[in-house]
Copies of this chain bind each other. A is one copy, B any other.
Amino acid sequence: MKKILGTSLLLLSITIFGQTKQDSIQFAEISKEILNNGKSYTELKDLTKNIGHRLSGSEAYEKSVKWAEQKLREAGADKVWLQEVMIPVWVRGKESLQIKTQDGKWRNLKMLSLGNSEGTGGKDISGEIIMVKSLEEYEKLPNEKVKDKIVFFNYPFSQTFIETFKGYGDAAKYRVNAASLAAKKGGKFAIIRSLSSAFDDVPHTGAMRYENDNKIPAVAIGNTTADELEVLLKSQKITAKLNSNCGMKGEKLSHSVIGEITGKKDKNVIVVGGHLDSWDVGEGAHDDGAGIVQSIEVLRTFKKMGIPNNHTIRVVCFANEENGLKGGIQYGKTAKDNNEKHLFAIESDAGGFAPRGVSLEMDDEKRKQIKSWSNLFFPYGVYHFEGTYSGADISPLHAMGVPTAELVPDSQRYFDIHHTVEDTFDKVNRRELLLGAVAMTQLIYMIDKNW
């Protein structure tokens, strides 16, 4: 990987002359325009402060649909429309988790039910907590040790990975599978340690999944609470009691929001997008308000600067990424049904932090070509064109053969606040957010021109 990088940079420094000068001037103008006049930051403030979190199916989500429609029009889209999507409706409702220590006292724990989890139907469910530190440890437990117990998966988020997405990937199975794992051996409900890189007590929600119809509840607790519980469990038996009302409430018609500027040469489509929905806590600022306002910024910048676009540049504000991916799936299906040729799609769904690179999921030739532009991006702090992932919402497009990519911002702070009450506007830095929009606009300018 490293050798390839060295070689490609060398190749680049040869092949780049001729076409570079004009492009590097255009790169600088894009950057200057966005850093000085970009609206993403104020638009994000508007979205997060005036609408706030916006889970699929909520009234707030429907408000954000209208909001995105309006912002795309203001940005200068030639065409704006809503794409119908049937989305699952999950509702949290009231919830509480308590533990009883050996002194007989009940104590409330800060917690969040995991997204898509069923609750207790408003009744108390209680049992003795049994803790495991890993899946391996859990697999070894005989069923009778788990039966009627509360299973506490206390797997810590690894600090060792440099890219925190790897730590997240490493721990994600606990969130996704805890309930089904516990149910399989007769557990009453599952508690997980949050998928959190922070040293605090903030619980992180996020999607879980049931393997079958034995749907027991799953909840997350913060790291500090998890540590304290671990210490307590060393010396005593602890009873946990859950009361929650969450659960799936059927389906509902909702919308993704789409806006585009029409291609001057053809109607082939370049997609830039993020997801409009968020979890039902915090403000969905980094996840993924950032991706939405950055994508709109790309369109606005093309329009305002009058950059000639050969192909159609389309912003997609996807519905329901967090707990169903129905927006992305529907978008792919519609594209196929309408026989629309998609040249390229990029998503921003890793937070509004300073960009470091672009992850590329495409054939080697296209990947090589994009890498050959590296030197143009280098002055903007964007140097890393590796990775093999490109965003959940555009994975259906990728499955149809479309070359896809994802903006890769610095990942250090993301999993401190991801899916929590702390994912708020004040955690977003203006320049970092704008630089992400700069990098995506620059990349789309190159692809529009060369593909």
Contact = CB atoms under 8 A, between A and B. Distances in A.
Contacts of A6: 6, 9-13, 375
Interface string A1-21: 011011101111100000000
A4 to B, nearest CB: 9
Contacts of A13: 2-3, 6-7
23 contacts: A2-B13, A2-B375, A3-B13, A5-B9, A6-B6, A6-B12, A6-B375, A9-B10, A10-B10, A32-B160, A35-B159, A35-B160, A159-B431, A198-B430, A354-B410, A354-B412, A356-B381, A381-B410, A383-B383, A383-B384, A410-B410, A412-B429, A413-B432
Contacts of A12: 6
A451 interface: no
Nearest to A410: B354
Interface in A407-451: 410, 412-413, 416, 429-432, 435
Given A6-B6, A354-B412, A413-B432, 19 more contacts: A2-B13, A3-B13, A5-B378, A6-B10, A6-B12, A6-B13, A7-B10, A7-B13, A9-B9, A31-B160, A31-B162, A36-B159, A36-B160, A162-B379, A162-B381, A164-B431, A410-B410, A412-B429, A412-B431
A197 interface: yes
A248 to B, nearest CB: 36
Contact of A199 (B5, B199, B413, B430): B430
Interface in A361-418: 375, 378-381, 383-384, 410, 412-413, 416
A407 to B, nearest CB: 15
Copies of this protein chain in the complex: 2
Most buried by B among A198, A354, A375: A354
A297 to B, nearest CB: 15
Interface in A16-39: 31-32, 35-36
Nearest to A434: B159
Most buried by B among A36, A379, A381: A381
A435 B356 CA distance: 15
A426 to B, nearest CB: 11
B9 A431 contact: no
A324 to B, nearest CB: 31
Contact of A412 (B379, B413, B432): B432
A375 to B, nearest CB: 4
A48 B160 CA distance: 26
A435 B163 CA distance: 11
A13 B429 CA distance: 36
A389 to B, nearest CB: 17
A318 to B, nearest CB: 27
A161 to B, nearest CB: 9
A22 B434 CA distance: 40
A159 B434 CA distance: 11
Contact of A162 (B199, B356, B380, B429): B380
Nearest to A160: B32
A431 B198 CA distance: 9
A433 B397 CA distance: 38
A199 B434 CA distance: 14
A7 B9 CA distance: 8
Contacts of A380: 162
A198 B429 CA distance: 9
Contacts of A9: 2, 5-6, 9-10
A350 to B, nearest CB: 14
Contacts of A431: 159, 164, 197, 412-413
A435 B197 CA distance: 14
Given A7-B13, A13-B2, A35-B159, A416 B429 contact: yes
A102 B55 CA distance: 51
Contact of A413 (B159, B378, B383, B429): B429
A198 B7 CA distance: 40
Contacts of A5: 9, 378
